[in-house]
Structure 1
């Protein structure tokens, strides 16, 4: 019964998948870090959403993911984001490297 429920959820018709993916895209665009939310909690929420989008066939470039992380953080992270944007090439830097920089700076706070 559980298997059938999961199968129907992720292998429904193309139109249903398209609608689900569109909703996930909207959620991705509007997602922001909440005030007083820990960095790791926000990154976990974002990663879960990205994985759901990939399940439905969405392909996001590394540059797009980097940009999303940098523009959606709370104001506390603005100076760090500015340094990353001015010293790294978002076309070539891996998302994991951006996250590592943010986490290391977060530990200093």
Structure 2
């Protein structure tokens, strides 16, 4: 907590100065500058006017900055005699660290983009790799959210899980789905696929894929039904029409629903 002068009357106001940590320099610098500027002390850090004014505010600005530092950081800048020198020393230390961190984060993003599930790899093992990436992002002060993790999982699983991925993307909002939910759905499908493959001599995957294709074909056929030749309304066949039937001789058989295997 910093007590700093405020106003021409010499009154004081209590204002909290955020603590500087190894991972928050950029945000800290923005807040610290705003607080110092609000208390008319920023010109002591970045002098641009009367030297006498600067000298009068330097001690207070230096003290405020010291109050925002941990013991280790304080010892490193304690010999700096002006607020300008303290600020410059901190910037040199942390901006350099930020650049290293940004480079590491860029490398990590590349690793994440190239991550793929190997054929025969267990889902849990692959999910562990994605979760490990999230932990590494957090360690660099960034966030790998569920949406990005779910997208990576669905986009990179083997072809044998395609039917499950198609179902998830069609019936669920993948942008809001939790990573654990997507993983559990894929694991349930993979287990059914494994059992069916064992029961059908290795043909389970093809049968499940064909079932999904049949379902899609049925849906397309349902929505493409033409006009009823009895009442003229689209969406049903003449044999299902509830209106009074016309002369059967005038109704063509072309509206018969094609059979699905």
TM-score range, shorter chain: 0.7 to 0.9
Q: Where does the alignment leave 5 or more consecutive residues of structure 2 unmatched?
A: 1-95, 195-261
Deviations 1:53-88 (A, max 9, x none): 121122233222211110011111111101000010
What secondary structure does 2:177 align onto?
A: coil
**Which of 171, 178, 181 does residue 87 from structure 1 map onto?**
171
The TM-score normalised by the length of structure 2 is 0.36
Match of 1:8 in 2: none
* Match status 1:48 vs 2:136: no
Mean Cα displacement is larger for which, 60-69 or 78-87? Answer: 60-69
Structure number with the bigger relative contact order (C-alpha 8 A, sep ≥ 6) is 1
Distance 1:37 1:92 in 2: 26
Q: Deviations over 1:78-102 (max 9, x none)?
A: 1110100001011222111111111
The answer as to 2:141 corresponding to 1:57 is yes
1:24 maps to: 108
Moved more, 40-49 or 78-87: 40-49
Computing the radius of gyration over CA atoms, which structure comes out larger, 1 or 2?
2
Contact 2:150 2:174 in 1 (8 A): yes
**CA–CA distance in structure 1, aligned partners of residues 188 and 166 of structure 2:** 15
Whether the 8 Å CA contact 2:134–2:143 is kept in 1: the answer is no
The CA deviation at 1:43 is 0.9
Alignment of structure 1 residues 59-78 onto 2, 5 Å: 59-78=143-162
More helix by share: 1
C-alpha distance in 1, partners of 2:178/2:125?
20
SS, match of residue 141 in structure 2: coil
Partner of 2:63: none
Contact 2:105 2:137 in 1 (8 A): yes
**8 Å contact 2:154–2:165 — kept in the other structure?**
yes
Deviation at 1:107, TM superposition (A): 1.9
CA RMSD in angstroms comes to: 1.8
**Structure 2 equivalent of residue 37 of structure 1:** 121
**Secondary structure of the corresponding residue to residue 57 of structure 1:** coil
User: Aligned pairs, how many?
Assistant: 99
